[in-house]
Structure 1
Amino acid sequence: MATSVDSGHSGSDLVKDYVCGGCESRQIYESADYFCATCTKFFCRKCIDPHDQIYANHSKYGRGETYKWPLTKTMEDLLLKCDVHKDKKLKMFCQDHSQLCCTDCAFLCHRQCTNVALIFESAKNLSMDMQQLSNKLQTIVDELNKFKITKEASMQSVEESCNEKLLEIQDLRKKINAALDALENTTFKELDEIRTTLLTSLKKDIDNGNKLKDDLQTLREAVNGLCDKSKKELEFIASRKCLDKIQESESYLKENHVNVQSSITFRANTDIWQYLFKQSSLGRIVDSMQSLKLKMNPDQVLTLMRTSEYTVSIPSDTCQNYFISGICSMPSGQVIVADFHNKKVKLLDQHYNVSSHCDVTGKPWEICPITSSEVAVVFNKDVQFISVNNGKLVNGRQFSLKHDVKGIAYHQGALYITSGTTLFQYSLTGSQIKKLYEDVSRCWRGT
């Protein structure tokens, strides 16, 4: 039986290597590079030379023909090990359940079965094409590798989408902060204007009061100076002036109550904080894969109820002969269309009015959704990603292919792109995964 040693591969316990028999006898564990079928022994590159000098006619196989090498003991033990009872070896096969069994399995689970036989008896008359089985295993391995690639691409898409949404959330927070700052500044301005008005009015009252007080004091000094002077004319004039000034002062005091203290009050706009207090988040986070799934019977017959026409023209259009070559609906209710002749992608609101647009470098053919806020548009040999950011279309990453691009679809992390006669599968980064189909009998002709 061949012996084995771990080759250093950490990806799987099944990856084992063979040990050179000559080196192993000297307690040196060197990986084997050849197997001699005549000697039934393994040799490394150093040990194969003296072997060939003595046994030049022996049949030996290198690593390029490992399928002719015997199984390692590790691999054989792995195949014989019961998947349920790890310390037991497989001994029987239950035809009723098409299941390999160890003695414990046979006793515990298959006692009532009528077609349980020893494995060597079941294998006597069984013809097995191991090469076909190997090919099928490799096919499944290839499919799993593709599955891994698409899921990794989906993970990358999720991370990119999450980062984009994080920036959008932060941008929304900045806008809310800016709006609150503007409200605060406006309120501060109103406060300052009222303060200035009140202070100006109060200062004017103080100035007027001081003037009246000064006039009264001056008249009082004059009146005191006229006492016992027997100057009737001056006394008459002084008395009239005093009475007029007293009347003026009393009227002024009556109009301006001295016991009322000026102050400023603030009545908060409670609608703002009450509205914010009622909100659970800054917005709704949607899983685009879930939102794009159609919850309907695939065999259901759809009936057209009505049709409507809308215009997508905007002032910057250079061509009035419109050809909408692609269209897709977003989870938000918005619609994105590809305007072929004007080399534009346009965003329509829920009333189908053009709310935003962006230019592309070629005439767009097809458009498909990638996430809840991102689409992919194709033109010439290019794929252009476009995002909806705060109600605006924004050009994102772009990559070019070696063939024309006439159609595009997205499914489970992968892009499906057609040149018109050939269908390809691509990753989101523009790496070709495989060619799915090619129609060599036709030549596609576009506009």
Structure 2
Amino acid sequence: MAVPGSKLTDFLGLVSSCSEDHSCDPCLTIGQHIKAHGFCVNCREYLCNDCFECHQRTQSSNDHELVDKNYTDERSFSRIRPSDCTDKCHLHKEEFIKFFCKHHEEFGCTDCLTMSHITCDLEYIPDKCAGIKESDECRQVMRELDRKQKEEDENIIQQANIQNSPVDSSDENATEEIIYSRKGIDDQLDKNQKQMELPCDERKSTEIKKIQTVNETCTSVASDVDGEEVLEEKNVSYGFGRSKDLQNTLSIVDDFWTHDAQNTDLPGKKKRSNRLTLIRKIKVKTKSNEYPFSFTGCAVLNRNKVLLTDYNNRKLIVVDTEREVRIEKKPLVSDPWDIAVLPQDQVAVTMPFEKEILVMSTAGKLTPVRKIKVKGECYGITYGEDHLYVACNPASVLSMDVQGNDQVNIFQKRERYENHKDLHYCVLSDDCSTIYLSSYTSHSVLRLTLTGELLSIFNHGDLKEPEGMVLLDDGSLMVCSYRKHAILRISGDLKHCQDVPTVDNPQSICYNHHRQEVYVGTFNSKRLLVFSLK
């Protein structure tokens, strides 16, 4: 039989821990650890010196039995009579509960017995609780608790061991990847060092020979002339200028560092890029292709990777431009058109016939992330300042965030736009203040503000059926002239133009500023063309 509010385990735990050093229980509730000075039998709490004295003065606790903490061991506890009742009666506030009525199943004090249970069969609680610690039931409960605790401890240890296995595996994999990456960096450093040292050494040897020849010539001339008169007659002068060969040798550094050299120029000034030079063709065709390639979109993923859209065969293709191999292909359910590179290793691919934009992850294998539905067949796409801009047909240019929210058409129906209804590609300016659009049927390039104001239109005899466009570091624009088999280079204000070497059926174009290379995708070609701008 138990007293209301009292638990057997509380009492046993109290007795078993009496011999240990304790902190003041009331102070622990506010986060303070103060060594106990005494113990309250009624409250079953250890008290520091201040709380001990306060306990004696407070009206609600001045009748509690307080003892010194040094006398709370198991033997002295028997003198305190742990079986004495300490809970107050809820009817008679000043009385302790001492009896239990089996007939009414109620606890009560002496007053309750006199007033309501005089004829009932009552049990005296202290007698019923005597020797409960030595009872078989108590021992069985304690043994069961020990067993449960051991089982829980074993389960926790087992779970911890299971969790350690993937952690160790991940750590080993990460270490291996770090070692592999470091080796690749070291190899690249060694390679570039040799590339720089070899031509420098050769040039140094050549220049030393030239200097020796000059010295020998000067010595020979000096021996043949007679004083200052001859020097005046000869009017000989020597000077030293920059060696173009040495400058070209040192430019190899630009192939390794990703730092943009234009940052060293004066504000607002950009280095003028050189003319295009075809340096190689990368084969990407496979035997499984049923139709001719149509590379309608291309984008630079990193220093050595380019992503292509194969419109005719409904595929995405990843090419390693350094090793000149195709490293991945991703089949799609419909025909992809253009690509925009997004932050956090993602790209946005337009799917015209599905009227949607497919956002994919490029971290590892190409993986779909989400789809964005749009109004109209979406073709060209570009990204800037957390927004996507999509050229659609019927003629519209949609602006939206990367989640596809807040879609707004900035290409409203106006008289000046009536002849420009077949929009294929778009690209943003560096400062994201203007957008360029290629109009396929009107053979022109348009320049608009992001609010839809038309700034200028470019037309040229060599611009027929314009397709892909790309912006270079100097702000100029390269545009694929599909029908004229050429690539035009146009100034950012669309006022000036120059031709670039002929390319058969160019469709898409992108620029790798790390390597200063331009990649061109064409129709019905099994190769990706690589041009140098150095």
- The answer, yes or no, to whether TM exceeds 0.5 is no
Name whichever structure is richer in helix by fraction: 1
TM class by smaller structure: 0.3 to 0.5
Greater RCO, 1 or 2 (C-alpha within 8 Å, sep 6+): 2
Larger radius of gyration: 1
Higher share in strand: 2
TM-score (norm 1): 0.34
